[in-house]
Amino acid sequence: MADQYGFWRLLAEGLRGHTGWKPAWRDPEPKAEYDVIIIGGGGHGLATAYYLAKNHGITNVAVLEKGYLGGGNVGRNTTIVRSNYLHTGNVLFYEKSLQLWEGLSNDLGYNVMFSPRSIINVFHSDSARDADTRRGNQMILHGADAVLLDREGIRREAPLVDVDNPRFPVYGGLKQTRAGSARHDAVAWGFARGADRRGVDLIQNCEVTGIDVRNGQVVGVQTNRGPIRAKKVGMAVAGNTSRVGKLAGLRLPIESHVLQAFVSEGLKPMLHNVITFGAGHFYISQSDKGGLVFGASLDGYNSYAQRGNLPRVEHVMEAAVSFVPAVSKVRMLRSWGGVMDMSPDGSPIIDKTPIEGLYLNAGWCYGGFKATPGSGWCFSHLIANDSPTHHIEQMRLDRFETGYVIDELGAGAQHNLH
Amino acid sequence: MLIPCPHCGLRPSEEFVPKGLAEAPRPALGGRAKPDGPAWQNYLHLRDNVADHNHEYFHHALGCRSWIVVHRHTLTHEVTGATMAADFWKADKPATTGTQDAKSPAAETAEDGQ
């Protein structure tokens, strides 16, 4: 266990001036051929490579990343981990993912700082209470946990919430106790290190510029560091799904949108849980460093720019102050935007494609972070065995054509409804 | 972000509701004939979703309430023009309202008023 970041290693390194640390992963040159290539060195790609090696014994794997590891959405999110979903197609998967989160630091030998501090979805009407009661029952039936809180429960759990707001009075909330947040970069680094130690080649600054298909079967990829052969290629490229899919001639049900997130200055502990505003789309938690981390919905227009516009900033701040008035005294530190791969029904796609040997992991909308371990677990199984686990049976690519959509919001299955 | 509404001239983006990419025309309903599944799939769900100049539906909800197609760049957010949605798929569609060239009279009025 010499290269674990455990107590004895820390103590030993402390005594010799921290001179013995080595890079956490290798920087290999790409080989001419691999059994499996994963395009995208973000959370999902790295998790997929890790579980391919750990669960399925497939270690001749390359993860190709055009930038640096974990430089995309896994480093640009609000780090919320939960499984409070209504539909079977979602809750089965996210509950599997949450269970993996609970053991992740031990499994990786790397502290991902998963903090099950609970999430509370606050509601503001009788009908919203009915809907959340139904969702809570669904969650319990699928093995997740849920507690219905009344107004006094919200006052007790999150005293800074404006419970008596005259416009949006709080009626209560649906609480998932096992939900929480995690350290986003550590998740990427932990999976990267775990995959590397099992023999996976993590190749950075390697952009895929073409996908070679012969007779309907993938045979390899073209990159800026030369061609690499592989009979199985998995795509986990989030916001760039359409662009990479096009390299294989696919036209996919994805639109790319910008989602902004915000962090305030560091504060003393003021918010214990993750809480969400039911009268607008807004969620807020407090990081371990003390900053309030929050966000809301998409800007609404298509974008690859990784930055948003000011009208949405204003909207988010209005929601923040309506929900937690104390936020009006807080100074904002920074905001940023990430590119979301939006699917028509707001639920993800983990499936084979019409091209033999090409696998798709996409459509994470704004919920990809919590899915990271589950996505890697299920996607690696799909790639290794050519069949889905029961968690992802409904996350099909063709579901928009067949009508078997996973319409979590009940809003319909068209772009721009989520 | 300012959007050159063909009817109202340059207006702030807050007045508009974006409604997705205009990449394929809406298929004809076809009366009693069996719907053209692939055409509807193409229209409703599938997208090229380019990181480049694109065409996107916007509704001028807090203005003239016209449906328009805005020409934007998805990497820079630069708006280069707009067309009435009703005209967008016509073969002989009128010239687009631009921000740099060929400004509509309405766009100039809006700018003069600032």
**The two structure tokens encoding residue A98:** 């949450």
Confidence check: pLDDT of A241 > 90:
yes
Identify all chain B residues contacting A345, using CB atoms and an 8 Å cutoff: none
Question: Reduced to 3 states, what is the DSSP secondary structure of residue A166?
Answer: coil
**pLDDT tens column, A383-413:** 999 999 999 999 999 999 999 999 998 888 9
pLDDT in tens, B42-56: 999 999 999 999 999
| Mean pLDDT value across residues A291-312 | 94
Residues 6 or more apart whose Cβ sits within 8 Å of residue B19: A416, B56, B57, B58, B59, B67
Using a CB-CB distance cutoff of 8 angstroms, which residues of chain B are in contact with residue A302?
18, 20-21, 49, 54, 56, 72, 74
Q: Helix A184-197 vs helix A43-56: angle between axes, to the nearest 10 degrees?
A: 40
Partner B contacted by A305 (CB < 8 A): yes
Tokens representing B104 are 């509509």
In which domain, by residue range, is B28 found? 2-112
* Interface pTM, i.e. ipTM: 0.89
Burial class (CB in 10 A: 0-12, 13-18, 19+), A113: middle
Answer yes or no: are the C-beta atoms of A261 and A274 closer than 8 Å: no
For A249, the closest chain B residue by CA position comes to B48
Q: Measured between beta carbons, which residues in chain A are less than 8 angstroms from residue B1? A: 309
Distance, in Å, from the CA atom of A115 to the CA atom of A104, rounded to the nearest integer, reads: 11
Q: How many pairs of residues across A and B have Cβ atoms under 8 Å apart?
A: 78
Cα–Cα distance measured from residue A72 to residue A369, given in angstroms and rounded to the nearest whole number = 11
> At B106, which CATH number?
3.30.2270.10
Q: Which of B14, B48, B72 sits opposite A242 (nearest CB)?
A: B48
Chain B residues whose beta carbon lies within 8 Å of the beta carbon of residue A252: 46-47, 49
Q: Say how far apart CA A346 and CA A361 lie, in whole Å.
A: 14
Chain B contacts of A243, Cβ < 8 Å? Answer: 49-51
Q: What's residue B99's pLDDT?
A: 55
Q: Exposed e or buried b for every residue in B35-69, given b needs 16+ CB within 10 A?
A: eeeeeebbebbbbbbbbeebbbbbbbeebeebebb
Asked whether the beta carbons of A78 and A283 are under 8 A apart, the reply is: yes
pLDDT confidence bin for B30, thresholds 50/70/90: confident
Residues 6+ apart with CB under 8 A from A142: A88, A91, A92, A95
Which positions in chain B have a beta carbon within 8 angstroms of at least one beta carbon in chain A? 1, 12-14, 17-21, 37, 41-42, 44-51, 54, 56, 58, 72, 74-77
Q: Give the gap in angstroms from C-alpha B112 to the nearest C-alpha of chain A.
A: 23
For the ranges A92-101, A244-253, B26-35, which has the lowest average pLDDT? Answer: B26-35
If residue A332 lies in a helix (H) or strand (E), which one and from where to where? strand A332-342
Query: Is residue A104 within a helix (H) or strand (E), and if so which, with residue range?
Result: helix A104-108
Name which of B14, B21, B74 is nearest A304 (Cβ-Cβ): B74
Nearest Cα to Cα of residue A222 among A39, A1, A403:
A39
Q: Contact at 8 Å (CB) between A268 and A258?
A: no
**Res. B101: pLDDT tops 80:** no
- CB-nearest partner of A303 from B14, B17, B74: B74
Q: Is 0.90 surpassed by the pTM of this model?
A: yes
Identify the residue among A257, A299, A301, A307 best suited for mutation to test binding to B, counting B beta carbons within 10 A and taking the highest. Answer: A301
**Nearest CB to B46 within list A253, A301, A302:** A253
Contacts of A410 by beta carbon, 8 Å cutoff, 6+ apart: none
User: Which residues does chain B have within 8 Å of residue A242's beta carbon, measured at their own beta carbons?
Assistant: 47-50
**pLDDT at res. A95:** 97
Q: How many domains is chain B partitioned into structurally? A: 1
Average per-residue pLDDT for chain A: 95
Residue with tokens 């930038």: A67
| A177 has pLDDT over 70 | yes
A103 membership: H or E segment, kind and range: none
Tokens of A292: 């309030």
Q: How confident is the model at residue A3 (pLDDT cuts 50, 70, 90)?
A: low
Contact B20 A251 (CB under 8 A): no
Considering Cα of A149, then A150, then A155, then A161, what sign does the dihedral take? positive
What confidence score (pLDDT) does residue B103 get?
42
Q: What distance in Å separates residue A212's CA from the closest CA in chain B?
A: 20
Q: Is A243 on the interface with B (CB under 8 A)?
A: yes
Q: Which of B20, B54, B74 sits opposite A415 (nearest CB)?
A: B20
pLDDT tens by residue, A316-368: 999 999 999 999 999 999 999 999 999 999 999 999 999 999 999 999 998 99
User: How large is the angle between the packed helices A126-141 and A88-102, nearest 10 degrees?
Assistant: 70
